[in-house]
Amino acid sequence: FGVLSLLKRSTLRKSKKPGVRKMKKILATILALVLALGLCSVSWADATPITEGMTELDTGSYVLDKDVTLTAGALTVKSGATVTLDLGTFTLTNKAGEHTIVNNGTLTITGTGTVDNISHARAALVNKEGATAEFNGGSFTRSKENGQNKEDSGGNSYYNIQNFGKM
With a pLDDT cut of 90, the percent of the chain lying above it is 62
Query: Has this prediction a pTM greater than 0.85?
Result: no
Q: What is the mean pLDDT of residues 130-153?
A: 90
**Residue 134: strand, helix, or coil:** strand
Q: What is the DSSP letter of 94?
A: P
Residues 111-123 pLDDT 10s: 999 999 999 999 9
Concatenated DSSP letters for 123-160?
-SEEE-TT-EEEESS-EEE-TT----SSS--TT----S
Phi, psi for residue 148 in degrees, rounded to 5:
-90, -40
Per-residue pLDDT at 133 exceeds 60: yes
Q: What is the DSSP letter of 166?
A: B
Of residues 58 and 7, the one with the higher pLDDT is 58
Residues 39-90 pLDDT 10s: 554 445 589 999 999 999 999 999 999 999 999 999 999 999 999 999 999 9
